[in-house]
Amino acid sequence: MNREGSISLTELQGLIRDKIYEALPGSFWVIAEIAEMKVQSAGHCYLELTGSETPGGRVTARARATIWASKYRSLSTFFNASTGIPLRAGITILFRATVEYHELYGLSLNISEIDPAYTAGDMALRREAIIRRLTAEGVLTMNRGVPLTPYPRNIAVISSSKAAGYQDFINQLINNPYGYVFQTVLFEAVMQGETTAASVTEALDRIAEEPGRFDVVAIIRGGGSTTDLSWFDSYEIAFHVTQFPLPVLTGIGHDKDQSVTDMAAWRALKTPTAVAGFITERTLDCENRIIGMAETLATSVTRALDAANEQLSSFQNRVAANARLRVSVSSERLGFYQEKLHRSSVNTLTRSEAVTARTIDSLYRSAKNMLMKADAITGKFEDSLRHLDPAGVLKRGFTLTSRNGIIIQSAADLEPGDTIKTHFAEGTASSKVEEIIKKR
């Protein structure tokens, strides 16, 4: 193998570098999306850039880029002041850069200038694209059709527990001037950065698992710049809000602009405090409506009672007049019937006395005859009783036989050898039974 003409890797890399510098002299304006970005303690900024044929499409190119510390501070400050957002991953930038090639680190781009107007326009285009998509799908205002209870007492809060806006929200609810009591449950979420969309949608999904527990959802952050607002120009968050079964209130904390999430919400308010104030004022409005209905009801009842009293008074007057007339007529009839009854009673009593006298006389004679008959019958009974008296029977020659004080009525009741007594009208005789002859 002929190894003449071989070169070292370092020499090859140097040739590549020289050819690149010859082919690509000067600087170029380049459009790319920041995929990753790191700032070292020394102040140098290192970026991973990607390119695609269409915005948000498949990545077709990738390159490393550097903003040296001498440029980074002024570039980032100017970019933030112009766009309201810092340089960060996820945004598309238009920048001026020179192509650099290093034997150890390979190809990279050295950024010397960034056009903030392009990024602002690109973000606005993306935002408009999200709004057009939600509108085309017919869901942008869907959450506004979800009914909100007049007294939203149970509130699910999506926020960071460390956010000042969350504390302002809770304090405003607790210290409301009307003494209303609200129940809040915090669903912790990241409210800025690349994980905002995933964190907020996950919190919404957890709340949706028990929708009957809550009356309303509040997405609150509070404070910050337009940067914070841009994280909520998210199709994922906005679509979740449009499909949510509960009314969603937002208080992300921006006075001038609305995020896409704000546009999809049931109601967008400027600050977390304003969200708490809205809930409190809605409850007050509910109480006032109840009081108004109670007053209207009381007025209606009072009027009905007054009308009823007037009608009752009219009825009473007519009833009293009618009653007096009826009493007068009845009194006249009563006097007539009383006189008639008196005469009838006198006649009836006179006839009754005559009938009673005849009846008593007849009953007296009947009773006298019955007493006489009873005396005759009683005499016959006395004669019969005297005739049947044992003493009288014994005097007529009959006797009674007894054994041990018991009257013997039949010879069959005796046994030979029994001692018996025979009772006569005058005295008794004892004897012993020797033979018993039974009657055939």
Q: What percentage of the chain exceeds 90 in pLDDT?
A: 39
Rounded CA-CA distance 221/188 in Å is 11
Average pLDDT of the residues in 144-168: 92
Average pLDDT, the chain: 86
Cα 331 to Cα 163, 322, 344: the distances in Å are 93, 14, 19
Q: Give the position of tokens 């509040």.
A: 218
pLDDT at site 137: 94
Side by side, the strands of the sheet bearing 419-423 are 406-407, 400-403, 419-423, 428-432
Among 26-30, 253-257, 302-306, 351-355, name the one with the lowest average pLDDT: 253-257
Res 69 pLDDT > 90:
yes
From the list 57, 33, 27, the residue with the least C-alpha distance to 47 is 33
Secondary structure letter of residue 42 according to DSSP: T
Stretch among 63-67, 176-180, 296-300 having the lowest mean pLDDT: 296-300
Q: What is the pLDDT of residue 255?
A: 59
Between 81-90, 94-103, 136-145, 207-216, the lowest mean confidence (pLDDT) is in 81-90
- Which has the higher per-residue pLDDT, 183 or 395? 183
Is-above-0.75 flag for pTM?
A: no
Q: Report the pLDDT value the prediction gives residue 262, as an integer from 0 to 100.
A: 93
Both tokens of 418, joined, read 């029994």
Q: What is the mean pLDDT of residues 391-410?
A: 80
- For 65-83, what is the mean pLDDT? 91
pLDDT at 254 over 70: no
**Amino acid identity, residue 223?**
G
pLDDT score for 227: 54
